[in-house]
Structures are given as structure tokens and as C-alpha cells.
Amino acid sequence: MVELELLEEADRICRKNHIHYNIIAGTLLGAVRHGGFIPWDDDADIAMLRSEYDRFVEACARDLDHSRFYFQDHRTTPGYRWGYGKLRRKDTLFLREHQEHMPYEQGIFLDVFPLDAVHNNYLLRCVDQFRCFCLRKALYARVGKTADRNRFKRGIYRMLDRIPEEALKRRLDRMILHAPEHSDYVRILMFPTPNRTYAYRRKWYEASRDTMFEGRVFPGIAEYDEYLRFKYGDYRVLPPEEERKVHPVSALKLP
């Protein structure tokens, strides 16, 4: 119910400010396959092109119900090291394992993903992928130096964590600024992409259809079948129980 409350608040802000977005990933999969949340899921995801995301951030500062919610991203929240935003519910706690030391509030969240253009040319996209991977791991190092099970990798993360946070964030901002102007492909820069394509089709995020989710209507990707098959394969088949992923948490508090 808290996740649904977050979705409805994001939707309210987007409708008020004419911001185009879609429910994506497991949230869209849940809408299509289950009519709502995947039974074992514990968050929700929306995405929008970068220009819409920037407007969403501005709208949150102006129109968000600050009595119940707060918004975080790498530009607004010191110590926040993820390359996408989170809309969070006040008076809650969703403390991820190995992130207890992170210096910002960690309430129950909705992920808000910005989509940036990447090259049409596959080889150039591979270069983009390598740059994104390196920066993502450097940003994650503050967590990875204690969370990773591999001793050698923990050592690598400890070295990466010596890079000043602001330098990493400036690098991310430069990547955003210098994204290709005209491209058929987009991606979440600081998040893995499937199938070694290293991108998603821009058209998937430009066209929406009304999508029922827990009895409410939200905009979902119009070509949902093509998108979901790209991302999950035969998405209508339930995965084995051992592959049903959840976020490991060390503390949880509901409002």
C-alpha cells in the first residue's frame, strides 16, 4: 500500500505538470502478468526520458506533498551515490543490508529512472557500456567494500572508494551532458542493461497505453510485449522460487 501511495503521488505530479513517464520493469511485468504487484516484489519502478526527468525533479521541489514524501537523487542529496532518483515515504524505513552506514534517509521508495541517449552504432555503444560500468562500480564502492562476498573485489572497492564522491558525480553529469543528440537508443546510465544490447529502444518510452495496476490506471509502455520479451524472455512463465529476487533488508518500518 505504501508503494501504491508512492506511485499515485508520482502520477499526480506528472499529470499536473504534463510530464510523460511509464511504469517499467517489474512494475509493468506485474501489471501485465498479475494485474498489480508481483507477489514477491518490494518496490516499484517508473522511467522517463532525461528532459522529462529534469522537469520531474523541478516539479518535486515545487509540488511534492512534503508532509508525506521526499525525493532524492545525486544532485539533491549529499552522500547519495545512485545514478537515478528515489521518491520516498516519510516516517518509514527500508534499510538495505550493507547500506546502514549511508548518510541519507532511507524510507520505502519508488525508483525514478532517467533515460539518456546512447549511440546507434553498436561498437560505440559498447564503449558507452564500459564507461557506464566503471563509473557505476566506483559509485557503488562505498557499499561494495563491505557488501561484496569476494575478498579481492572488496579490496578493489576500497581503492575505488578513495575517489572523491564529487569527482564521480561530475563525471556522471558530463556523461549526461554529452549524450548523443539524435539516437534511437536510450539507457539508464547507472544501471545494468540486458541481452548485451546495452540499450533500450527509445520508441518504447515515447508511446504509452493506459495500464491497470492494482485497480488504478497508470501509463505503461504501449509495446509492452516487445519490451517485456526483450527484458525477461518468456515473461508469462513464473521464475523458479529460488530466482524470485527481493531486496535484503536489515530494518523495516511502516508508517
What is the average per-residue pLDDT within 172-192?
A: 95
What is the average per-residue pLDDT within 157-176?
A: 97
What band does 115 get if pLDDT is binned at 50, 70 and 90?
Answer: very high
Helix-, strand-, coil-residue percentages of the chain, each rounded to 5 = 40, 20, 40
Q: Report pLDDT digits (tens) over 71-97.
A: 999 999 999 999 999 999 999 999 999
Say if CB 198 and CB 192 are below 8 A apart.
no
The domain segmentation of the chain, as residue ranges, is: 2-116+204-253
What band does 194 get if pLDDT is binned at 50, 70 and 90?
Answer: confident
What is the average per-residue pLDDT within 33-43?
A: 94
Strands 249-253 and 93-96 turn out to be antiparallel
What is the average per-residue pLDDT within 118-133?
A: 96
What is the residue-averaged pLDDT of the chain? 96
Whether the per-residue pLDDT at 220 is higher than 90: the answer is yes
Say if CB 228 and CB 26 are below 8 A apart.
no
The reported pLDDT for the residue numbered 245 is: 86
Better-predicted residue by pLDDT, 28 or 247:
28
Burial category of 174 from C-beta neighbours within 10 Å (exposed 0-12, middle 13-18, buried 19 and up): exposed
Neighbours of 218 (CB within 10 A): 23
The reported pLDDT for the residue numbered 247 is: 87
CATH code 2.60.120 for 2-116+204-253: no
